[in-house]
Amino acid sequence: MSIQLLSDQLASQIAAGEVVERPSSVVKELVENAIDAKATTINIDVRGGGRQLIQVADNGLGIPADELEVAFRRHATSKLQTAADLAAIHTLGFRGEALAAIAAVSQATVVSRAAGDAAGTRLILDGGHKSSRETVGAPQGTVMAVENLFYNTPARLKFLKSVTTEKRLIDEFVTRYALAYPDIRFRLTHNNRITFQSNGDGRLLDVLAVVYGPETARQLLEIGDQRVESEEERPVSTPQSLISVSGFVGPPSLHWANRNHITLFVNGRWIKDNSLTYAVIQAYHTLLPTGRYPLGVIFITMPPEEVDVNVHPAKTEVRFRRQSAVFGAVQRAARQTLVADSPIRSMSSWSGAGTEATTPGWGGSLDFAAFTRRNDQGELDLEWLAAADSTITGQETDNGVGFDTSSPENLGGDKLPIMRVVGQVGASYIITEGPDGLFLIDQHAAHERILYERFMTDRANEAIVSQGLVAGTAVHLSPSQATLLTENLGRLGNLGFQIEPFGPNAFMVRAVPAILIKLDPARALHAVVDDLERGDTPLQGHIEARIILRVCKTAAVKAGQILSPPEMEAMVRQLEACRSPHTCPHGRPTLIHLSVAQLAREFGRI
């Protein structure tokens, strides 16, 4: 076959494939256009999972009568003129492709009246070709009706999923936009039945209540504006100060088997981003059972020139100029919210060194960790103090390092009720009774949790030991890393580093924190710079990982070990005092609850 130019029609159909993959992509593009047109009401009507009809009606600015045809041409847009505009996108659309693409693969009708126009215009297109145009009476705004999607591209039609699946995908898109724009009133119908409706009162929580149900919405924790705080923490202007994060996260008690409940928006645009999704998940580190994922509805706002949305025609993938700064901002926002809203924070009895784990109503002051240390003839003699890292001195000095209050041990789980110890089963589980039914506690997992929180608190109070290097090591950094490091030299000194400037973008490392002595000094420094770039507390990750390792080594209460009543009592009291008692540091559950209602059901009483 000789080389030939494709016909316009075929070229449009091919191009359409990237923008319009399925009915939900039509809904997305039309809704985005309505939002860009400053609509305050958007009604979406769908029939046959979107194959028969997708109609989006808005009360926005409308399209002037003489621009109606142009709007359907490829690369026709009112949102962009120059390359400079492209570098700072303020609207959801900008590529001027959607209407052309949609019209090319469907039978489309648009009725629009622009503000100031006396009447509206109706334009009908068939596979992108105009078939009729007339002046009609119409309210201000635009109604786009897309019928028989893919009627002229059978290959596409074959790839559509069931009506139910396509319907679900449409629901998801509409829900996302309703969350991103609480002041717009959305209504979605499938075959004339309303499936979603938001009231447009501007309150995100109201939309969340519609999406997740009022019960769940009540439990959600609102993210404060993190921008201000990070500026306080870092007086030097850093990329973080340009990024603000808001929205809601769920408490650790709400979790799902998949990540679908983490929804991310950048400047009002829903995005897919595995790395930021992971940032949210990381904020729940050690708080969620393994394989379970939290809820997060996260809005990231930043100067438009910091983010490139022109990566793919669907505009759901973006690139950040400073990926790690965004990652850090999201992770910190989620963590700090979990800390601030933690109900356990009010438990002042546990805020100190953590050795007084007394609970009201329990007379003794038997400390499980201490208890096991004292017992020198049983298997419980774990000499946990002796097992403490040799690299850490025992002195309690305030070295000013301080611990990030957002370290996981401070995060709120849900507090346990006061429990009565009933006994032990299988030499592995402690049975207790609480206000609503009974609990089975995995004694090993519980001991791991108790030790983890203990060690984290101890660590916060311990001096960090600096270890001098026999010969200094010169490390070269990128200019931006070098600036970041220079700004943080004092902070790193507190952590045990001794670093001196050594020429442009180079540093001489003379001492490192003892916990990093096994690392090559250059790698140690790079690890810390990575933490700083992400906005994380330097070394926090290393410290946590080491503590978890140590917990594994020292958690002497194993499965298969018979515990005396005082031992069980001590362990239960200390688990009650834990901040995040529901999981062990590996994310496995520490206990199972059987409610009275559940028992009644099992016995066929209700």
Residues of the shown chain interacting with Mg ion in the complex, contacts defined by CB under 5 A:
33, 93, 98
- For residue 95, the minimal CB distance to Mg ion (Å) is 7
Nearer to ligand ADP, 98 or 208 (CB): 98
Strand 262-266 to 296-301 pairing: parallel
Number of H-type helices and E-type strands within the chain: 20, 22
Nearer to ligand ADP, 103 or 446 (CB): 103
- For residue 299, the minimal CB distance to Mg ion (Å) is 21
User: Which of ligand ADP, Mg ion, none interacts with 77 (beta carbon under 5 to 8 A by kind)?
Assistant: ligand ADP
User: Which of ligand ADP, Mg ion, none interacts with 142 (beta carbon under 5 to 8 A by kind)?
Assistant: ligand ADP
Mapped onto helix, strand or coil, the DSSP state of residue 155 is: helix
Nearer to ligand ADP, 97 or 453 (CB): 97
What region does 213 belong to: left with phi over 0, alpha with psi -120 to 50, or beta?
left
Nearer to Mg ion, 93 or 535 (CB): 93
Nearer to ligand ADP, 61 or 188 (CB): 61
User: Which of Mg ion, ligand ADP, none interacts with 95 (beta carbon under 5 to 8 A by kind)?
Assistant: ligand ADP
Find the residue with minimal CB distance to ligand ADP.
Answer: 93
Which neighbouring-strand residues pair with 122? 111, 134
User: Which of Mg ion, ligand ADP, none interacts with 43 (beta carbon under 5 to 8 A by kind)?
Assistant: none
> Which uninterrupted H or E stretch holds 156?
helix 154-159
10 Å Cβ neighbour count for 56? 25
User: Which of Mg ion, ligand ADP, none interacts with 62 (beta carbon under 5 to 8 A by kind)?
Assistant: ligand ADP
Structure token digits, residue 341: 């809203």
Nearer to ligand ADP, 34 or 499 (CB): 34
Which neighbouring-strand residues pair with 120? 136
User: Which of ligand ADP, Mg ion, none interacts with 60 (beta carbon under 5 to 8 A by kind)?
Assistant: ligand ADP
Q: 266 and 318 in contact (C-beta within 8 Å)?
A: yes
Task: Return the HEC string of 568-582.
Answer: HHHHHHHHHHCCCCC
Nearer to ligand ADP, 42 or 591 (CB): 42
- For residue 26, the minimal CB distance to ligand ADP (Å) is 11
Nearer to ligand ADP, 310 or 483 (CB): 310
- For residue 146, the minimal CB distance to ligand ADP (Å) is 12
Distance separating alpha carbons of residues 277 and 265, to the nearest angstrom: 11
Residues of the shown chain interacting with ligand ADP in the complex, contacts defined by CB under 6 A? 29, 33-34, 37, 58, 60-63, 71, 76-79, 93-100, 142
**Measured CA angle at 541 (ends 538, 542), to 5 deg:** 90
Nearer to Mg ion, 33 or 59 (CB): 33
Find the residue with minimal CB distance to Mg ion.
Answer: 93
H-state helical runs in 350-467: 368-374, 443-461
- For residue 227, the minimal CB distance to Mg ion (Å) is 30
User: Which of Mg ion, ligand ADP, none interacts with 79 (beta carbon under 5 to 8 A by kind)?
Assistant: ligand ADP
Spell out the long-range contacts of 117-126 with Cβ–Cβ below 8 A and sequence spacing 24 or more.
Answer: 117/62, 117/64, 117/65, 120/62, 120/65, 121/65, 121/68, 123/68, 123/69, 123/72, 125/72
- For residue 29, the minimal CB distance to Mg ion (Å) is 5
Distance separating alpha carbons of residues 295 and 261, to the nearest angstrom: 5
- For residue 101, the minimal CB distance to ligand ADP (Å) is 8
- For residue 102, the minimal CB distance to ligand ADP (Å) is 8
User: Which of ligand ADP, Mg ion, none interacts with 563 (beta carbon under 5 to 8 A by kind)?
Assistant: none
Distance separating alpha carbons of residues 107 and 126, to the nearest angstrom: 5
- Nearest-10 crossing angle of helices 226-233, 323-340: 100
Mapped onto helix, strand or coil, the DSSP state of residue 136 is: strand
**Measured CA angle at 243 (ends 237, 249), to 5 deg:** 135
- For residue 303, the minimal CB distance to Mg ion (Å) is 22
User: Which of ligand ADP, Mg ion, none interacts with 31 (beta carbon under 5 to 8 A by kind)?
Assistant: none
What contacts 158, CB < 8 A, 6 or more positions away?
none
**288-322 burial string, b = 16+ CB within 10 Å, else e?**
beeebbbbbbbbbbbebebbebeeebbbeebebeb
Nearer to Mg ion, 32 or 448 (CB): 32
User: Which of ligand ADP, Mg ion, none interacts with 94 (beta carbon under 5 to 8 A by kind)?
Assistant: ligand ADP
User: Which of Mg ion, ligand ADP, none interacts with 157 (beta carbon under 5 to 8 A by kind)?
Assistant: none
Nearer to ligand ADP, 34 or 302 (CB): 34
- Nearest-10 crossing angle of helices 540-554, 521-534: 110
Residue type, 223: I
